[in-house]
Chain A
């Protein structure tokens, strides 16, 4: 688990260790099994991350391996986060400590739910993802530097040297993250004067006058 603060404000770069999770079409039901949905807060979701997958290989799942504790960049393959639209999936990953994902591709709703939390899902070419996953496996202690301004990920390793790979992000989400406008709630809260004006003109809030 990771004590880092939750994302806030403009997201221009992130530095942290990587966690490779190999496999295509990993769905939200695997990320957070349904039984964890009957809960009163998202706080305890971290313990449910990949709960069923982890119990199938005790201690040996990437999320359980000693050297990945404290990692914050999840490196995945194709169509990550498919299946039900549950918002609990990115919440659970965030509460475990994940602050960015790099992968071949992401399911659309999962991507949007991550964006709304300030967690970038960066896509990269398949061979680059494989290289990155391999490099992390060789040197799990190496730090990744994600530069969102130039859309590049860099791995500095004493063993495998320094490597850079290009990553991709659609212009809309890219702008939202860089400007800090990824948080839908703060956008809505920002229009307080307009909100008051709308409410003042609504007959049912004003005695139908």
Chain B
């Protein structure tokens, strides 16, 4: 059993009571809500005659259903309009802050909470969305929850939880140029499997992790859930504190030193015990692309689609399904696979450094004929910062569309979607069948720089040669 890890410390700090069924009642420090999973929870609260226990600890935004071309109200889709109107009514009735369209703070829930400084080390964070694990980048314990748990958090600011095991994922070395946090996490999931983390929290540590920017750490933790882990986190350090300093909802000057002092006590110390540990070497990782229908079906861009013989027997049935669905041949190189649509965005890779990395590739080049390529910033703040640097102009002159913020084609609950059997190069997080809005649509997950490279070539290519040729790509900054 783990002891002395950040997970153990945060768990102990937030324990409220032991429950009759054997689980623990855990206080939730930050509750994030959006238009898709909250309406039924508010309705259930009303049915039970309960109030919101801590409206000041819940923060709302709208992201999943917003159109990214025109965000004028009412939306063309009446159901999308009804969902946003319901969120607005619930927030005003219960006194919950809503960062709405045009507020300057709207965006994908997992992008805006960090950039506003809401997400902080040592917190428990919950949101009715799988990718809540993103917030673990700050040394918070953050997990996605279902609708009835959203109701529970609204009613009681707490959740019934069972304690997880803690696995340390230690990464030595440094990521090579052209290899990003997205490649690292796809590599980890490829190695440990999409169910490998079930019942676990993943602690990401080691020299390669310490060297990551906050935005890269968010990409990494975002996809911990795709590896089956309930949450993933990075111990807070000087990089974390520097990111938070001066953000609107971060501790102010008066409390800052005390906050840093407390945050510094949270990291897993040398005495920490883990349930187990897995080691990786960052230097050996290549740009990684998925070829199949789960995020675990990934390979280096210089590799070939695995043949059944190369796979464990229990992976073969799913691989067979993936070959058929993706129409990819076992043993064929993944490089050269033609794509139709290129999507840069999502809570995984829709932040400023992601757009910078993609723009560095697109700069002075042109999207291949017949390719639909578009960039959806993760938030209004990301959009404004990118526009201030002229990234929108770089993308536009290269032939990319520059859109307004939202989840967009990550899950295609808005009008952005694949059609028919189209295949996308996508910087999002899920390549499940039908995920991007067409029942037969296909998805190749990769880093934003790799998506940009695919858009230029019209097919999957290794981005690394393009970077050497480019002027000087700005590396991930935050």
- Residues of chain A whose beta carbon lies under 8 Å from any beta carbon of chain B: 6, 38-43, 85, 87, 91, 113, 116, 172, 176, 181, 183-189, 191, 194-195, 198-199, 201-205, 207-209
Contact = CB atoms under 8 A, between A and B. Distances in A.
Contact of A187 (B20, B50, B54, B83): B20
Interface string B72-89: 000000010011001000
B13 A201 contact: yes
B97 interface: no
A204 B122 contact: yes
Nearest to B256: A208
Given A189-B156, A198-B15, A198-B27, A203 B262 contact: yes
Most buried by B among A40, A87, A185: A40
Interface residues of B, number: 45
Contacts of A113: 148
Contacts of A38: 79, 83, 413
B50 A185 contact: yes
Given A40-B82, A42-B44, A185 B255 contact: no
A181 B20 contact: yes
A188 B148 contact: no
A41 B148 contact: no
B17 to A, nearest CB: 5
Closest 5 CB pairs of A and B: A188-B156, A208-B258, A40-B39, A40-B86, A41-B43
A209 B255 CA distance: 8
A42 B222 CA distance: 29
Contacts of A6: 47
Contacts of A91: 40
B259 interface: yes
Given A188-B158, A195-B27, A198-B14, A41 B40 contact: yes
8 contacts: A39-B40, A184-B152, A185-B148, A191-B17, A191-B25, A198-B14, A202-B13, A202-B14
Interface string B7-40: 0000001111101110001010100000000011
A185 B156 contact: yes
Contacts, number: 106
A195 B16 contact: yes
Nearest to B146: A87
Nearest to A207: B255
Contacts of B159: 188
A30 to B, nearest CB: 18
Given A189-B155, A198-B14, A184 B148 contact: yes
Contacts of B253: none
B48 A185 contact: yes
Contacts of B123: 204
A194 B17 contact: yes
Contacts of B79: 38-39
Contacts of B147: 87
Nearest to A188: B156
Contacts of A209: 258
A188 B25 contact: yes
Nearest to A209: B258
Nearest to B26: A198
B168 interface: no
Nearest to B257: A208
Nearest to B86: A40
B27 A199 contact: yes
B157 interface: yes
A181 B15 CA distance: 20
A165 B47 CA distance: 34
B148 A116 contact: yes
B213 interface: no
Given A40-B86, A208-B258, A185 B155 contact: yes
Contact of A208 (B146, B151, B259): B259
B120 interface: yes
B40 A185 contact: no
